[in-house]
């Protein structure tokens, strides 16, 4: 009979996986991720890669918005920096794809820090508008600095090769994406067990109190922007190498909003939430399209209105989440776990 989770040592309290069930669950997830590509067809691999890239981007954004409390609408712009940096370094300067990916992370971190400077003076909605400006400025530069980015034309990136293997096939890229998802996850989860992570959370909860306690606001806010942009740049660089082509149309403000929706629906301030939100928002259109096809074969009359139903469903799902579970999928997942842990006698 379990009535809750109790710890008798600090080590146990600080552990990432506190119970046996959690350990078994993570083992099942790892086995599933490792086995998946051998059973999945190309369509599912494409979806898995899109989900993986979205998870990295969502974790990046969650560090800034969910953990540090700095609202950002610049996600699309920062992803564009990552994608263009990786694309230009590989296509124009012949840097290997893995080198340009790492370089793109640092470049994006630098640009992110630059646009994070106003965050010292601006909070909440004002910061949101400042980051929206970052999004627009970055896209404007990308589309108008023709000598560097090729302007509004598409930038073609050569195929990423590793030991003679073309890495951007759906199967090969799966290992790149999900390997990096694992790295990003481990580093981010551990980040919030260090003084840096705790400083971020302190700033989110009450910045003045944090400052009184000795947290250097300027330093840590900029650091949050840098770390967040680092991962977001990685997501952008992966898009560039996976798709071999970079166009600005992929990084509009819609993307910034989509990623915010991901972390809100998934759960702010949680890595698991980033996973759930990114998966949910990436798969929802695919699920709706396939549902539409299934319905179409039964009820051919509604064929012409299916796209509109899909669009409406997308919006309705978001609204329902905000009303009924503002803490997102992560909270639902926790509630579900608690329910079964204490079953049948929950208090």
Which spans of this chain sit near another protein (rule: CB under 8 A)? 41-43, 46-47, 50, 143, 151-154, 156, 170, 243-245, 247-250, 282, 285-286, 289, 292-293, 306-308, 310-311
Compare residues 113 and 282 and give the one whose CB is closer to another protein. 282
Q: Which is closer to another protein, CB of 44 or CB of 192?
A: 44
Per-residue exposure over 58-81, b if at least 16 CB sit within 10 Å of its own CB, e if not: bbbbbbbbbbbbbbbbbbbbbbbb
- In degrees rounded to 5, what are phi and psi of residue 253? -60, -25
* Pairing between β-strand 165-166 and β-strand 155-156 as defined by DSSP bridges: unpaired
For Cα atoms 165, 167, 173, give the angle at the middle one, nearest 5 degrees.
Answer: 140
Residue whose CB is less far from another protein, 211 or 244: 244
Whole-number minimum distance, CB 152 to another protein, in Å?
4
Q: What is the DSSP string of 176-197?
A: HHHHHHHHHHHHHHHHTTSHHH
Nearer to another protein, 50 or 330 (CB): 50
- CA dist., res. 73 & res. 129, Å (int): 7
Please tell me what DSSP assigns to residue 66: I
What is the smallest separation between the CB atom of 188 and another protein, expressed in angstroms? 24
Smallest gap from residue 192 Cβ to another protein (A): 30
> Considering the complex, what minimum distance in angstroms separates the CB of residue 57 from another protein?
12
Q: Cα–Cα distances in Å, from 1 out to 50, 192, 343?
A: 42, 32, 9
Residue with Cβ nearer another protein (211 or 247): 247
Report the nearest approach of another protein to the CB of residue 97 (Å): 14
Of 69 and 160, CB closest to another protein: 160
User: What's the closest the beta carbon of residue 54 comes to another protein, in angstroms?
Assistant: 9
CB nearer to another protein: give 177 or 270: 177
Smallest separation, CB 308 to another protein (Å): 6
Give the list of residues 6+ apart from residue 187 with CB closer than 8 angstroms, or none: none
Compute the distance between CA of residue 63 and CA of residue 74 in angstroms, rounded to an integer: 14
Contact 67, 197 (CB under 8 A): yes
């Amino acid at each position: 009979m379990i009535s809750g989770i109790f710890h008798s040592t600090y080590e146990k309290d600080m552990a990432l996986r506190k119970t046996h069930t959690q350990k078994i669950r993570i083992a099942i997830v790892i086995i599933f991720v490792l086995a998946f590509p051998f059973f999945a067809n190309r369509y599912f691999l494409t979806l898995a890669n899109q989900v993986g890239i979205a998870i990295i981007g969502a974790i990046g954004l969650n560090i800034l918005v969910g953990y540090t409390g700095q609202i950002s609408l610049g996600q699309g712009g920062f992803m564009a920096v990552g994608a263009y940096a990786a694309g230009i370094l590989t296509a124009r300067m012949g840097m290997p794809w893995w080198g340009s990916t790492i370089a793109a992370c640092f470049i994006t971190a630098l640009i992110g820090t630059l646009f994070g400077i106003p965050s010292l003076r601006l909070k909440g909605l004002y910061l949101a508008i400042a980051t929206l400006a970052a999004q627009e400025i970055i896209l404007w530069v990308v589309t108008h600095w023709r000598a560097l980015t090729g302007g509004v034309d598409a930038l073609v990136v050569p195929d990423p090769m590793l030991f003679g293997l073309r890495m951007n096939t759906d199967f090969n890229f799966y290992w790149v994406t999900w390997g990096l998802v694992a790295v990003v996850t481990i580093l981010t989860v551990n980040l919030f067990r260090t003084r840096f992570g705790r400083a971020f959370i302190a700033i989110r909860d009450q910045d003045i109190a944090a400052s009184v306690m000795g947290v250097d606001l300027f330093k840590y806010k900029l650091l949050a922007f840098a770390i967040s942009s680092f991962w977001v740049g990685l997501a952008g660089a992966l898009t560039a190498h996976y798709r071999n082509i970079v166009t600005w149309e992929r990084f509009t403000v819609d993307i910034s909003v989509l990623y915010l929706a991901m972390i809100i629906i998934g759960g702010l301030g949680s890595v698991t939430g980033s996973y759930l939100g990114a998966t949910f928002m990436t798969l929802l259109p695919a699920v709706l399209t396939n549902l539409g096809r299934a319905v179409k074969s039964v009820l051919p009359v509604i064929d012409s209105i299916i796209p509109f139903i899909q669009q409406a469903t997308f919006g309705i799902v978001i609204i329902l989440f905000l009303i009924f579970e503002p803490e997102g999928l992560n909270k639902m997942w926790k509630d579900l776990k608690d329910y079964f842990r204490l079953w049948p006698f929950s208090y």
